[in-house]
């Protein structure tokens, strides 16, 4: 009776010693600064930095000297604290914000059919190109809003259009790729005027599809040729050299130029 017990105890002891030795010889040492930097991040885990989450970003800061300000959620102060902790210098990029380039709601571009399927822009687009008269406009089914980790996009339920709240948007860019109509761009937060149309149609077709669609009249680009270029029949803002001339708002005959992202 005693012999089997001693045998089992011996095996247990041997296994314990093996595990302890494996722990000593095969353990992977992690840099303690990774945890320190992770604790200093806001912890949104949004992936807006381009890494898999806050832990992966902290590793990149510590091991690959990635600049802490690449975390779009970090405040200036938080990024500066991390940089100082790591002995890095920090230079801030222009803050960016999401822009939905469409202002035609369902009264400007009426529904041409009924859709009772899943409330999702991509799904609706698969059904005969969705229901809005304009084939380039916002469908208002919140695919972008659901992708935003910061609740910065609201769908105006009555008007069926997406509205970005710039004060909530941290510029992570997660909404950009999910829009099946490619309506969302990241633009400098400081830009004071925006052209909110993405339709390339000629005026005659555009007028039938949406009363707020750009008709390619060139009035805005004549007033500010440095900043506004014509892409066929569509006026496009050059955000590398954006317009600060708010007079372009009043020259647009269809009123698709706006001073604020929330006012459309």
Q: Which of the residues 200 through 219 are near ligand SF4 (CB under 6 A)?
A: 214-219
Q: Does 146 bind ligand SF4 (CB under 6 A)?
A: no
Tokens of 33: 């600064």
| Distance of closest approach, residue 147 Cβ to ligand SF4, in angstroms | 6
Using the structure block, give the residue that is written with the tokens 């008269």.
133
Q: Given candidates 49, 195, 237, 261, which one binds ligand SF4 under the rule CB under 6 A?
A: 195
| Distance of closest approach, residue 254 Cβ to ligand SF4, in angstroms | 5
Cα angle: 34, vertex 35, 40; to 5 degrees: 100
**Where do the DSSP E strands lie in the chain?**
96-100, 153-156, 161-164, 184-188, 194-195, 228-231, 234-237, 257-258
| Distance of closest approach, residue 64 Cβ to ligand SF4, in angstroms | 24
Q: Does 73 bind ligand SF4 (CB under 6 A)?
A: no
Q: Alpha helices, DSSP H only, in 65-139?
A: 76-86, 121-126
| Distance of closest approach, residue 23 Cβ to ligand SF4, in angstroms | 42
Q: Tell me which stretch binds ligand SF4 (CB under 6 A): 9-17, 52-60, 62-70, 165-173.
A: 165-173
Give Cβ neighbours of residue 261 (< 8 Å, ≥ 6 apart): 97, 99, 100, 163, 164, 165, 166, 194
Length in residues, the chain:
264
Side-chain half-sphere CA neighbours of 42 within 13 A: 20
Residue number with CB closer to ligand SF4 (34 or 72): 72
Rounded to 5 degrees, φ, ψ at 193 are: -140, 145
Residue number with CB closer to ligand SF4 (62 or 227): 227
Q: Given candidates 40, 61, 62, 138, which one binds ligand SF4 under the rule CB under 6 A?
A: 138
Q: Given candidates 34, 37, 61, 148, which one binds ligand SF4 under the rule CB under 6 A?
A: 148
Tokens of 66: 């990635």
Bridge partner list, 184: 100
Bridge partner list, 96: 188
DSSP letter at 30 equals P
Ramachandran assignment for 74, one of left (phi > 0), alpha (psi -120 to 50 degrees), beta (any other) = beta
Residue number with CB closer to ligand SF4 (68 or 216): 216
| Distance of closest approach, residue 154 Cβ to ligand SF4, in angstroms | 10
Q: Which of the residues 218 through 247 are near ligand SF4 (CB under 6 A)?
A: 218-220, 235
Q: Does 166 bind ligand SF4 (CB under 6 A)?
A: no
Q: Given candidates 37, 71, 74, 98, which one binds ligand SF4 under the rule CB under 6 A?
A: 98
List interacting residues with ligand SF4 (CB under 6 A). Answer: 98, 100, 121, 138-144, 147-148, 150, 152-153, 162, 164, 169-175, 178-179, 181, 183-184, 195, 214-220, 235, 251-254, 256-257
């Amino acid at each position: 009776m005693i012999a089997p017990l001693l045998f089992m105890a011996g095996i247990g002891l041997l296994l314990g010693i093996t595990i302890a030795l494996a722990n000593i010889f095969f353990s992977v040492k992690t840099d303690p600064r990774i945890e320190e930097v992770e604790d200093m991040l806001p912890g949104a885990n949004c992936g807006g930095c381009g890494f898999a989450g806050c832990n992966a970003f902290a590793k990149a800061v510590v091991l690959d000297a990635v600049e802490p300000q690449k975390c779009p959620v970090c405040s200036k102060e938080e990024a500066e604290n991390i940089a100082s902790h790591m002995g890095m210098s920090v230079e801030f990029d222009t803050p960016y914000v999401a822009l939905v380039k469409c202002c035609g709601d369902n009264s400007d571009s009426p529904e041409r059919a009924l859709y009772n399927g899943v409330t999702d822009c991509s799904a609706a687009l698969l059904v005969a190109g969705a229901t809005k008269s304009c084939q380039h406009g916002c469908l208002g089914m919140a695919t972008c809003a659901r992708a935003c980790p910061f609740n910065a996009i609201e769908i105006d339920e009555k008007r069926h259009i997406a509205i970005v709240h710039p004060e909530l948007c941290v510029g992570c860019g997660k909404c950009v790729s999910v829009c099946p109509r490619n309506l969302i761009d990241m633009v400098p937060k400081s830009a004071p005027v925006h052209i909110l149309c993405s339709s390339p149609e000629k005026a005659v077709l555009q007028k039938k599809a949406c009363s707020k669609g750009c008709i390619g009249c060139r009035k805005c680009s004549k007033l500010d040729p440095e900043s506004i270029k014509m892409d066929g029949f569509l006026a496009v803002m050059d955000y590398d050299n954006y317009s600060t001339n708010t007079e372009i708002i009043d020259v647009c005959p269809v009123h698709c130029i706006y001073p604020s992202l929330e006012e459309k």
